[in-house]
């Protein structure tokens, strides 16, 4: 036995990603006395600037945006009671096809081995029992999400550690409810073109393929407040439009695909730490 606390490490691409996909588990496990470590890979400099100024606008200042988003990230971590925040501070690569994808120093242009080596050092330091990141497609294809997946899996290969490892996902049934909710709150939302609709239909997994369902409903208020802490990106955070009650109904369950396990815990499971306590 050891006095070292059980530890969760979540590896995310940008400020605000921690709240959207894992805000519930970060808050829940912190409340249960588990050490929660958040690694944020980029500075978020391709996000909206003050007043909603978009990247590419002459008034958009990536350095100023990155500073603002760091402050928002720290506020979000305070809400979620995150034990340790680690920043890799790579330049935000922007959305697929943006010129910033090719910018020297962007996360997307960083060799996987380099990013993985830095993350492996953090893993050796914190020795997580559970690691959470995105799947190979970064959940929805964002370059920085894909890169976060790549460096996480490579870092695990570099270490002698064997934490339970999970990829974030969403059940297809929830994606359907999410689409219905978006139309409810955005009545003028146009119907997606067939190609876009087909791509959306492929996001997430069939319900019966999801291994891990963690009920974080009791912490959905914290999750909402953590998202609200990212005020500069509020225009892009649809969830804030629905209010806390509806948010909790829709976002209270966080789901994952278990991709590495040495405990033998049966699936489906309702706890990332099943078999560890």
Per-residue pLDDT reduced to its tens digit, 251-273: 899 999 999 999 999 999 999 99
Where b means 16+ CB within 10 Å and e means fewer, 7-29 reads bbbbbbbbbbbbbbbbbbbbbbb
The pairing of beta strand 164-169 with beta strand 253-260: antiparallel
How far apart, in whole angstroms, are the C-alpha atoms of residue 174 and residue 226?
21
How far apart, in whole angstroms, are the C-alpha atoms of residue 67 and residue 180?
35
Digit-coded pLDDT (tens) for 137-196: 988 889 999 999 999 999 999 998 999 999 999 998 877 777 666 666 666 656 666 666
> Which residues have CB under 8 Å from 30's CB, separation 6+?
36, 80, 81, 82, 83
Query: Considering the entire predicted model, what is its pTM?
Result: 0.92
Q: Which contacts (CB < 8 Å, 24+ apart) does range 185-193 have?
A: 185/238, 185/241, 185/242, 186/238, 186/241
Whether residue 237 is predicted with pLDDT greater than 80 in this model: the reply is no
Report in angstroms the alpha-carbon separations of 14 from 58, 107, 181: 23, 11, 25
230 confidence band (pLDDT: 50, 70, 90)? very high
Q: In terms of C-beta density within 10 A (0-12 exposed, 13-18 middle, 19 or more buried), how is residue 174 classed? A: middle
**How many residues in the chain?**
277
pLDDT of residue 25: 98
Supply the DSSP symbol for 109. Answer: G
> Which residues have CB under 8 Å from 59's CB, separation 6+?
49, 53
How far apart, in whole angstroms, are the C-alpha atoms of residue 226 and residue 74?
10
Are residues 140 and 176 in contact, defined by beta-carbon separation less than 8 angstroms?
A: no
Strand partners, 186: none
* Residue ranges of E strands in the chain: 7-12, 35-42, 84-90, 130-133, 164-169, 212-215, 253-260
Per the structure block, which two tokens stand in for 110? 């960083």
Mean pLDDT within 198-212: 83
Digit-coded pLDDT (tens) for 43-92: 999 999 988 899 989 999 999 999 999 999 999 999 999 999 999 999 99
């Amino acid at each position: 036995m050891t006095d070292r606390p059980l530890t969760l490490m979540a590896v995310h691409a940008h400020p605000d990603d921690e709240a959207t996909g894992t805000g519930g588990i970060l808050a829940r496990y912190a409340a249960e006395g588990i050490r929660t470590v958040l690694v944020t890979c980029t500075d978020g400099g391709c996000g909206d600037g003050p007043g909603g100024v978009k990247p590419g606008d002459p008034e958009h200042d990536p350095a100023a945006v990155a500073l603002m988003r760091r402050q928002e990230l720290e506020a979000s971590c305070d809400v979620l009671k995150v034990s340790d925040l680690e920043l890799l501070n790579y330049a935000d690569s922007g959305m697929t096809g943006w010129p910033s994808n090719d910018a020297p120093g962007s996360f997307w242009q960083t060799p996987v081995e380099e990013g993985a080596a830095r993350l492996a050092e953090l893993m050796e330091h914190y020795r997580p029992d559970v690691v959470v990141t995105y799947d190979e497609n970064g959940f929805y294809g964002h370059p920085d999400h894909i890169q976060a997946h790549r460096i996480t899996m490579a870092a695990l290969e570099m270490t002698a550690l064997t934490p339970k490892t999970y990829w974030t996902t969403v059940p297809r049934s929830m994606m359907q409810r999410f689409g219905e909710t978006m139309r409810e709150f955005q009545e003028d939302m146009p119907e997606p073109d067939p190609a876009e609709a087909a791509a959306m239909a492929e996001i997430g997994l069939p319900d019966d393929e999801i291994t891990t369902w963690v009920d974080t409903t009791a912490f959905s208020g914290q999750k909402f407040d953590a998202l609200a802490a990212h005020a500069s990106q509020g225009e892009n955070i649809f969830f804030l439009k629905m209010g806390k009650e509806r948010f909790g109904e829709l976002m209270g369950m966080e789901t994952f695909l278990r991709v590495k396990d040495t405990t033998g815990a049966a699936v489906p499971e309702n706890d990332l730490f099943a078999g560890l306590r």
